[in-house]
Amino acid sequence: MPRNVEAEAALLGAMMIDNRIADEVFGRVEPAHFFEPVHGRIFAAITGMRRKDMLVTPVTLRPMFDADEGMAALGGPSYLGGLTGSGAGLIGARQFAQQIYDLAALRALIEVGRTLVERAMDTSEEINPRAQIEAAETLLASVAIGGAAAAPKPVGLGQAWDSAIRKAKAVANGTASRGAMIARFVEWNEITGGMSPGQLILLGGRPGMGKTAIALAVAVGAAAAGFGVLFISREMPVDQLMFRIIADMMFEAGSAVTLEDVISGRLNEGDLVLAERIRARIDDWPLVFEEPPRLNVTQVAPLIRKHQRQLEGRGHALAITIVDYLGLLEPPAKRQNREQEMGDTSKELKMAARDTGTAVVALAQLNRGVESRDDKRPMLSDLRDSGSLEQDADTVVFAYRAEYYLKQAEPDHHDRKRGDWEIEMGAERDRLDVYSAKVRQGATQRRKVYFFGARQAVRGADYMRDGGGASAWPT
């Protein structure tokens, strides 16, 4: 039978030497994919411990295999230490995992072939080639979907109907939600319909439109509501993100401090006291940041799983992952052109959302062609580098600030168009259009909210009516 026991041993050894490798291959390989049964049990033990964020070494695994008869045949628990001896798997762990999966699929295919031959040869009950063909298709599909592992069972229409009705009732009576909702940014809830597990939400816009401010508003608002949030920043360091959050939250608390004040350290004693009070309030909010210098999109799912385990240890569930931004993720593999690479990246990100059960919000840049149009409001066709982005995304949201372009077109004070420009500028000052161009599970929506750029603060449409008072400070 096709097998590579040495590759299995090398992979297990690498997982014990560097637990990050275990996190990376989790979900790609299953215990049933290993030819050597003991190796499958070792793999299951490793993944079980990593789900609990426990350290995995030959020493910590040993108690689980003291009484294992298969392990005894291989030399006893000391075999675990021998797996880490060469460290060969550290170099090609991902390739070893893929080969283990592929060989398992070949073994499963051989078993299917034997089964089909036996059934075709057996004519004692009936001669029904159509039934044999249908059975063959089912068996082959199970191999294609799950390799040697058990394939997912099909769901009948009636069963699916009942499940959907149960979910609808649960939402109606308040025992379930449509997804993560943000009380302080209800317009986002209305536009996206809630951030549900497994969703990929794209947030697109040209530079200067406030994408990062929106993403931070979503992250902070979700964390304030008790939802676990992972913010993966590839565009700027975490301290720069924190400058924006500090300016935003101090603005919310009534301070006149601007982002520039925070960056420059122009904070008086009162500002520092206020900052300490805010710090105490946010101390247990489940928001964590990652700023990897390089990140392949295939590493996103393992990174999410790592923080799922860590947040579970703190009593929180990771609900949302934000990636800033999509274009800075390395593709799974080099392709002939950027469009193909971006297509691969978006598909991998969608699978990461589904496999980890979190909503993934990915920021995306738009093509420069937007700037050459009279109407610069983004459209789906403006998504940079790939039409796959709009196909893979469940929801596509755009950010647009007319104020940004009006400032660029400001006429001279003596120009006859000045009056019309001032009227239009007055209507668009500190305003931000946020709208959905695609919602897989609902209708598209458009909302106009407030964006105070000097504070990097996004506020809802009712902010002024609710007595926000931001106009008391110049922007």
Render 420-462 in DSSP notation, one character per residue: HHHHHHHHHTTEEEEEEEEETTS---EEEEEEEGGGTEEE-TT
> Residue 123: its pLDDT value, please?
75
- Asked if residue 407 and residue 312 are part of one domain, the reply reads yes
Main-chain phi, psi angles of 359, to 5 degrees: -85, 130
Same domain, 442 and 342: yes
Domain boundary among 80, 114, 146: 146
**Same-domain check for residues 135 and 216:** no
Let me know whether 122 and 258 are in one domain.
no
Q: Are residues 407 and 284 in the same domain?
A: yes
The answer as to whether 170 is a domain residue is no
Residues 199 and 300 in one domain: yes
Query: Could you tell me if 329 and 450 lie in one domain?
Result: yes
Question: Tens of pLDDT along 47-62?
Answer: 888 878 889 999 999 9
Asked if the structure places residue 171 within a domain, the reply is: no
Do 204 and 118 lie in a common domain?
Answer: no
Dihedral of alpha carbons 86, 90, 92, 95, sign: positive
Q: By three-state DSSP, how is residue 395 classified?
A: strand
Query: Judging by beta carbons within 10 Å of its beta carbon (0-12, 13-18, 19+), is residue 245 exposed, middle or buried?
Result: buried
Phi and psi torsions of 149, nearest 5°: -80, 165
- The pLDDT value recorded for residue 205 is 93
pLDDT of residue 146: 60
CATH number at residue 468: 3.40.50.300
Neighbouring residues of 452: CB distance < 8 A, sequence distance ≥ 6: 251, 430, 459, 470, 475
> Is 176 a member of any domain?
no
Residue 192 sits in the same domain as residue 124: no
CA distance 298 to 100: 18
Q: Is residue 333 part of a domain?
A: yes
Both 210 and 103 in one domain: the answer is: no
Specify the pTM.
0.74
Which pLDDT value is given to residue 218? 96
Number of domains in the chain: 2
The per-residue pLDDT for 278 is: 95
Closest CA to 324 of 449, 445, 453, 229: 229
CATH number for position 139: 1.10.860.10
Residue 111 within any structural domain of the chain: yes
Residue 328 lies in a domain: yes
pLDDT at residue 472 in the model: 35
Q: How far is CA 317 from the centre of its chain?
A: 14
Q: Which residues of the chain have pLDDT under 70?
A: 141-142, 144-153, 385-387, 467-475
Residue 253 lies in a domain: yes
In whole angstroms, what is the distance from residue 15 CA to residue 63 CA? 18
CB of 454 closer than 8 Å to CB of 475:
yes
In a domain, 43, yes or no: yes
Looking up tokens 């990593």 gives 50
User: Whats the size of the chain, residue-wise?
Assistant: 475
Q: Are residues 134 and 277 in the same domain?
A: no
Q: For strands 200-204 and 287-290, give the pairing.
A: unpaired
Both 22 and 106 in one domain: the answer is yes
The domain containing residue 64 runs over which residues?
Answer: 5-146
